Homo-oligomer: A and B are copies of this chain.
Amino acid sequence: MSAGWFRRRFLPGGPLPAPRPPRPRASPVPYRRPRFLRGSGSGPGSADAPRRPDARPVRSPARGRALPWNAGYAEIINAEKSEFNEDQAACGQLCIRRCEFGAEEDQEWLTLCPEEFLTGHYWALFDGHGGPAAAILAANTLHSCLRRQLEAVVEGMVALQPPMHLSGRCVCPSDPQFVEEKGIRAEDLVIGALENAFQECDEVIGRELEASGQVGGCTALVAVFLQGKLYVANAGDSRAILVRKDEVRPLSSEFTPETERQRIQQLVGAFGRGRLWSPCESRATRGHLRESDLSMASLPQAFVYPELLAGEFTRLEFPRRLKGDDLGQKVLFRDHHMRGWSYKCVEKSDLKYPLIHGQGRQARLLGTLAVSRGLGDHQLRVLDTNIQLKPFLLSVPQVTVLDVDQLELQEEDVVVMATDGLWDVLSNEQVARLVRSFLPGNQEDPHRFSELAKMLIHSTQGKDDGPTGEGQVSYDDISVFVIPLHSQGQRSSGH
């Protein structure tokens, strides 16, 4: 898309666009050998193209030359596991304007680039489940939530140190000292804006899905380049890595029922070990709390919500699902407070279906969901029950910061962002090997980053002649961004 794409579509204060119906794929293809729905570098007019990614470098009016930071070199493949592509992507410039203190929210906004205050770049991948609706809404919405959040704090972001009071008088002469003692930096405002934007977007998706009678959820992986830093915000199981000549650095970590086991178990877990506090347990665990219950003895139990499991699940983790034969045996288990394991004597309630069940890619929350963070899923319930998933899910991302200006960048340093379909079959090191083997031989090719993204997806399709020669096959939708970091255009953001 062109620079200013976001501005034209999402003037602040205006209504959010209605969710577009998902685009049907052009023709059926075999399940295990999906064809590429979109080649790299093709224009957005392509019939099969996913709606958002764009591989054309964008010219910055301020500098008059191509900035690699502006480009998202994306490849997306539909594995045909659902009728519509559940992967969605978005990228473009983020144009952040300065709001005058006291200005009305709905005032006329400036829309021309040179008058904008701060320019960043934005890449996002959304991996939908239960239909593409949430992923499409997120691709349409999250960047405007983020821009709004950034505009609310931009004045603090461009100061040497964020002021205690934004656009107001200084109340206390020692305010800067307190801000310094807390170690609050401009980048903390961007991190806060990303965290708030994900939450705001989740609320928008909840409202829109309910209003339109649609369902579903999605993971979200966002990279933002702003003021010389790359911020990577992740909620779900997509992944971003930095690949350099001598370094492979993860820029995100995955949030799944396995990696967030303790947080999830705690929601339905008992504080304490149920001995000291047992007298109040029956009342507290039924959720009937009166002011009089809030004595020392009842509080620790008050934090438990076994109702969320409706008596259908056990919160304990075992090496496998238990069977009748296990009754009375001492088996390995762990509870919410344990990173280690112990043994317990199996009771009848332990035979229920586990809150988190399965290993690795097969791990599921309440037998339903493979991720523990993301957007949407407000209506999602366990099949044939009234048990909700949403209380266990977080929409807040984890944000990592890469200080790009501090790196001695080489020509072939890139960030690779991809949905889980890629990482199911390729490790970080394998992707790094592919990157390092591809780029040096294609230095003259202006489309080499797009070709690299395409090659990465190709190598998950089990072709024997693939560069890894390992013939791995992914049956999932896959989306890949390759973002070149090379030195020109390092400072694409400015005032």
Contact = CB atoms under 8 A, between A and B. Distances in A.
Interface stretch (A77-85, A219-227, A329-337): A329-337
A308 B338 CA distance: 25
B339 A207 contact: no
Q: How large is the interface on A (under 10, 10 to 19, 20 to 34, 35 or more residues)?
A: 35 or more
Interface string A84-99: 0000000000000000
A168 B339 contact: no
Contacts of A334: 192
Contacts of A169: 329
Interface stretch (A18-26, A51-59, A133-141, A318-326): A318-326
Contacts of A187: 340
B165 A329 contact: yes
Interface stretch (A36-44, A288-296, A407-415, A484-492): A288-296
B338 A299 contact: no
A85 B288 CA distance: 43
Given A299-B390, A343-B156, A276 B182 contact: no
A31 B168 CA distance: 46
A189 B341 contact: yes
Interface in A335-357: 337-343
Residue with the greatest number of chain B CB neighbours at <10 A, chosen from A187, A190, A302, A338: A338
B178 A319 contact: yes
B320 A399 contact: no
Interface string A271-296: 11101100000000001111101101
Contacts of A320: 164, 172, 174-175, 178
A217 interface: no
A369 interface: no
A330 B189 contact: no
A16 interface: no
A47 interface: no
A164 B390 contact: no
B329 A196 contact: no
Nearest to A168: B329
A299 B308 contact: yes
A440 to B, nearest CB: 36
Contacts of A372: none
A192 B303 contact: no
Contacts of A203: 272-273, 275-276
A193 B330 contact: no
Given A287-B294, A319-B184, A195 B330 contact: no
A131 interface: no
Interface in A17-76: none
A195 B296 contact: no
A152 B343 CA distance: 8
Given A302-B287, A340-B190, A325 B172 contact: yes
A15 to B, nearest CB: 17
A478 interface: no
Contact of A340 (B175, B189, B271, B303): B189
Given A181-B319, A192-B339, A288-B290, 17 more contacts: A165-B329, A165-B330, A166-B330, A166-B332, A168-B330, A179-B319, A182-B359, A191-B341, A192-B341, A192-B342, A195-B340, A203-B272, A271-B391, A287-B291, A288-B288, A299-B390, A302-B391
17 contacts: A165-B330, A166-B331, A168-B330, A171-B323, A172-B323, A174-B320, A178-B319, A181-B319, A188-B339, A191-B340, A192-B341, A195-B337, A196-B342, A200-B273, A206-B276, A299-B388, A340-B399
Closest 6 CB pairs of A and B: A191-B340, A192-B340, A192-B342, A287-B289, A178-B319, A166-B330
Interface of A: 149, 152-153, 156, 162-169, 171-172, 174-175, 178-179, 181-182, 184, 187-196, 199-200, 203, 206-207, 267, 271-273, 275-276, 287-291, 293-294, 296, 299-300, 302-303, 305, 307-308, 319-320, 323, 325-326, 329-332, 334, 337-343, 359-360, 378-379, 388, 390-391, 396, 398-399
